[in-house]
Structure 1
Amino acid sequence: MAEQREKLHVVVFPWLAFGHIAPFFELAKLIAQKGHKISFISTPRNIHRLPKVPENLQHLVDLIELPLPRVDKLPENAEATMDIPHHLIPYLKLAFDALQQPFAKFLERCKPDWIIYDFAPYWLPPISSKLGISCISFCTFNASAMNTYLESFVGTTSGSESSWDKDIPEEHNESNESGVSDVFRVLKSLDAAQVMAVRSCMEIEGEALKVSKSMNSKPVIPVGLLAPSLQFSEDRNDENWNTILNWLDKQEEGSVVYVAFGSEVKLSDEEFTEISMGLEMSGFPFFWVLKMQNTSKVELQDLVVNESGKGLVWKTWAPQMRTLAHKSVGGFLSHSGWSSVIESLQVGCPLALLPIQNDQFVSARHMEEKRVGVKVERSEHDGKFTRESLANALRSVMLEKTYRSEAQEMSKIFGDKELQQKYIDEFVEYMQIHRPAMND
């Protein structure tokens, strides 16, 4: 039986973006809950940004710090994409690639059974192959987005054009300051992996996962949605949350639009203004978590504060899960990042979908098809949205009962802990059955 098999040692190695680090960390903890040893690898600053490992898992989860080498043009203390403007990300990849030697030395010392890694370390497979360590490529996107990217990448290399190319920025196909393109990284990393793991489940993406399996010559294993626990780990006496809670408690049930665009999205001045005015036009009270990096000009943030009598603008961190679960929140204006979609639907909150980049467009289209949200309409001519289109999407989500009804129905899957645990159990069992032979 699976529980009688020898325990695994798994190294977990995400790319330096918190949209990747967070689900990798959730996956690591869930594997550790099955009694397996985890070595979670990242940079010192990123390790210290992580939430604490639960006390009952601390003996199984080692947080390993690998300092980033200095790279010209990369600011000091820049260890994640959220620390830098978009145009400097290739330099972060260059620094990341310089971890090759220290990471190889770590692997030689500990010789784990498996490495679960991201798209970025295209240089890792030859190292793991030499040491006899099996590799799993873990996609933090959903299966629909993953298929879109693979279709586009294959189309790029074969000279054909994918029907979804408009969602894939051209920059991914071009070599950058790191010396290679993102397409090269993805294809090299994926090609050498023994397994592909996907942050999804059959109940949500059955057809897309079947397509994934038909597109790949290796096992494609859904690991579940990796939703954060509703048993909030934040300090319930947190002064910030008390202020937010007092404001939310004063609002009518289902009346508030929660607004957040994650840690990576930076809005243009024009986008910021249209969102601000669109919120005003919609007529709904709103709670906007407006992080510094979301706008290019700090003074624009005062526009919302000064003009709005209905909104609460929050300029520091706020607990997203607690906020979404509050009875006064009726909809979530989101950038459509997969983590945010999962958190919203876990508590049955419908979405106004405003994708900004990359996989967000695919996720938004997928969620609109499932009637759990409405995409903010963009012009076919220039791809821009307006305050009117944003206000219209918000009114649909907040006033048409079908979206909340479908989101609440979807929460039976997204919030089903037993169902999601089943995927982890099957994934871990696969790793145990197919663990490599021990090396001398």
Structure 2
Amino acid sequence: MAETREAPSSPLHVVVFPWLAFGHIIPYLELSEQLAKRGHAVTFVSAPRNITRLRPIPENLSSRIRLVPLTLPRVEGLPDGAESTADVPPEKVELLKVAFDGLAVPFASFLAEACTGEKGVRGFGKKPDWVLVDFAHYWLPPIAEQHKVPCAFFSIFPAAFIAFAGPKTENDAAPRTTPEDLTAQPRWIPFPTPIAHRLHEAKGIIQAFRPNASGPSDIYRFWQTEQRCPLIILRSCREVEGLLCPLLADLFGKPVTPSGLLSPFDAALAAADRVVEGDKESASLMHWLNEQPARSVIYVALGSEAPLSPDDVRELALGLELAGVRFLWALRERSAALLPDGFEERVAGRGVVRVGWVPQVRVLAHGAVGAFLTHAGWSSLMESFLFGHPLVMLPLFADQNLTARAMADRAVGLEVPRDEEDGSFNRDDLATTVRRVMAVDDEGKAFARNAKELQEILWDRTKQEKYLDELVKHLLRVR
């Protein structure tokens, strides 16, 4: 159960409003719970279906977190009921942004009402002190300014991604207009860093600099939002990202306050103690893992956002088969039909393919798991490092590319080699990478040792809590 602290004499009322993707929604909820533990009131805003899909708020925090649904307008071409990026294919996310921008009017009405004060609700009977916004909310800060409520940009992306994006002033001085421009270290980062995109990645990333069906480009949304926020909150810490954290304050000319890593400690502790009960399918996975030797299984999960191409699924499957290691593969339903003929029969006994949802934290906590084949999404890495797993990295989009570079530079794992032009990979390279990371030779031991060092950073609860306490002090001081 989430611990609570003594309520402050003058609690904050914070409105929290993430972008419509669960990779954003969950960290925003984690931060909301941390604020509530410290006695502050949080109004969490999202679309109705997203709210119903949230995990339950801990009972001892439920009086301090209220969930406010705002209904998305209908948009031609957007599937009925689509309220998050998990509900639409990648090519429809632009239309989701159109619907999201349609929340400006209902949000303005909500905020106007909230600023009048709502009596009888503990902590919510005062106007909001802050609104925490995401990259897409370029229309929101002007609404908040009308009510004299400051906004803070809460970045769920690591410092590497925000530093690479850079402020508008730097980009205006040296525009990046071609994919090739994104393959070099930005000139505004004054020290050597591995963070740059491969050419095949840059061909996708450059689209963020160009207008889309919603009108503004993603980078325009980010810059317009950031410029009107007097504070940036960063889901990171100096122990993991080093000089990039303080650099952001200089680049953007405003305070940048880390929140710490917001790792799911309670879920990790419950999983490690095997307290969490699950359905029959989850139980069968745990039973299979129980039968495997310690640290012999590589867990394979590439998220629910970016789809794998048929070639990717085939080469990944055949690479796992060729590697000869035990594996547990969490595979999206739409990808299951792409598996090579006879694959599951050939790997039976040492490999399990689970189509659909997998209890990831429980799997990562299991002693049979010795490595993680991942897209290098920030949230997945935070879960993995809670248990000290080295990485095989196959980044798929956005921040994952730069995070993979940074993690490889820290020698906590390896990226799977890919073709520079088209991003393809082959089974042989994947198999070799898996074997190297899971090996018990000096290289494999070094990966495991470095991952354990990150595990120690994440489990330094005192330091992680201190980041949150410093953040709250800043919010109290500036309101």
Q: Specify if TM > 0.5.
A: yes
Q: Deviations over 1:1-49 (max 9, x none)?
A: x975510000000000111111011011101100000000001110011
Q: Which of the numbers 334, 339, 343 marks the counterpart of 2:383?
A: 343
Matched, 1:208 2:244: yes
Q: TM-score of the superposition, structure 2-length normalised? A: 0.87
Could you say which residue in structure 2 is the equivalent of 1:271?
Answer: 312
Could you say which residue in structure 2 is the equivalent of 1:44?
Answer: 48
Structure 2 distance, partners of 1:14, 1:138, is 9
Matched, 1:17 2:17: no
1:296-315 matches, cutoff 5 A: 298-300=337-339, 304-309=343-348, 310-315=350-355
Q: Which of the numbers 404, 420, 430 marks the counterpart of 2:448?
A: 404
What is the deviation of 1:319? Answer: 1.2
What is the deviation of 1:379? Answer: 2.2
1:9-408 matches, cutoff 5 A: 9-111=13-115, 112-150=128-166, 154-155=170-171, 158-160=174-176, 161-162=181-182, 163=184, 164=196, 166=199, 167-168=201-202, 169-229=205-265, 230-232=268-270, 235-293=276-334, 295=335, 298-300=337-339, 304-309=343-348, 310-399=350-439, 400-408=444-452
Q: 1:66 and 1:433, CA in 2 relative to 1: closer, same or farther beyond 3 A?
A: same
What is the deviation of 1:149? Answer: 1.9
Q: Deviations over 1:85-142 (max 9, x none)?
A: 1111010000000000110111111131000010111101111111100100011111
Contact 2:158 2:235 in 1 (8 A): yes
Pairwise CA RMSD:
1.9
Contact 2:7 2:39 in 1 (8 A): no
Q: 1:14 and 1:67, CA in 2 relative to 1: closer, same or farther beyond 3 A?
A: same
What is the deviation of 1:304? Answer: 4.0
Q: Deviations over 1:221-258 (max 9, x none)?
A: 11000111223388415322211111001111111010
Structure 1 distance, partners of 2:340, 2:358, is 17
Identity %: 40
The total of aligned residue pairs comes to 432
Task: Give 3-state SS (helix, strand or coil) of 2:376's partner.
Answer: coil
Structure 2 distance, partners of 1:347, 1:89, is 33
Contact 1:224 1:424 in 2 (8 A): yes
Contact 1:18 1:263 in 2 (8 A): no
Q: 1:280 and 1:241, CA in 2 relative to 1: closer, same or farther beyond 3 A?
A: same
What is the deviation of 1:300? Answer: 3.2
Q: 1:266 and 1:304, CA in 2 relative to 1: closer, same or farther beyond 3 A?
A: farther
| Structure 2 unaligned residues grouped into runs of 5+ | 1-5, 116-127, 185-195
Q: Deviations over 1:267-296 (max 9, x none)?
A: 000111110011011110110111225x3x
Structure 1 distance, partners of 2:354, 2:55, is 21
